Amino acid sequence: MNTSKTLPRAAALLAVSLLALTGCAATAAPAEEPKPAGDVVTIEDAWVKAAPDGMSAAFGMLENTGDEDVTVVSVESDVSPMMELHETVENEAGEMVMREIEGGFVIPAGGELALEPGANHIMLMGLANPLVAGDEATFTLTFSDDSTYEFTAPVKDYSGANENYEESDEHEGMDH
């Protein structure tokens, strides 16, 4: 047995871990403030649908590396004076329609929220200028804690993402 060797080592380890503990306690002393949402959220693969005028939408994968859920409450961009956060839901007629999401986009702690055609998306309600493929658009997300996150997304041609606002004409021929 060589306890003479292992014991001092164990003591040294204990001393190191105590040091770590006290060091930790000193820096985290005031009640743990969560980081601003704008510091823990990023977007991957962001893109905007090209459109000559009217409405368009922006998509991407929102990621939250923080320990708490965060909520996007609004979005702004120079490309469209009026913007909304949209969800896509099934209406009473069984049609998929988009509408402003109540309470904003919640990105779970350590998780993701997909913004994609046919689901949640950033809605550009009225383009200030044509959005041409190859251009870029900058967006600023504002979170429920008033922090913000800015990102730039490329404009891409895309034939989908033509969600309905109103009832579609699918029910034509149902009666009469």
Token pair belonging to 79: 């490309």
**Residue 98 CB, nearest approach to Cu ion (Å):** 4
- Count the site residues for Cu ion by CB under 5 A: 3
Q: Where are the beta strands (DSSP E) in 21-135?
A: 41-49, 56-64, 70-77, 83-90, 96-100, 105-107, 112-115, 121-124
State which residue, 120 or 142, has the beta carbon closest to Cu ion. 120
| Residues 5-24 contacting Cu ion, CB under 5 A | none
Round the CA-based radius of gyration of the chain to a whole number and report it: 24
Segment contacting Cu ion (CB under 5 A): 19-27, 64-72, 95-103, 142-150?
Answer: 95-103
State which residue, 49 or 86, has the beta carbon closest to Cu ion. 86
Residue spans of alpha helices (H) in 61-157: none
CA torsion angle 162 38 105 57 (round to 10): -10
Q: Are 150 and 138 in contact (CB under 8 A)?
A: yes
Q: Within 10 Å of residue 1's Cβ, how many Cβ atoms?
A: 5
**Residue 55 CB, nearest approach to Cu ion (Å):** 7
Using CB under 5 A as the binding rule, whether residue 98 contacts Cu ion is answered as: yes
Contact residue for Cu ion among 122, 123, 131, 137 (CB under 5 A): 123
**Residue 53 CB, nearest approach to Cu ion (Å):** 16
**Residue 165 CB, nearest approach to Cu ion (Å):** 8
Question: Residue 142 contacts by C-beta under 8 Å, 6 or more apart in sequence?
Answer: 72, 73, 74, 75, 76, 148
* Residue 47-86 contact track with Cu ion, rule CB under 5 A, x = bound: ---------------------------------------x
Residues of the shown chain interacting with Cu ion in the complex, contacts defined by CB under 5 A: 86, 98, 123
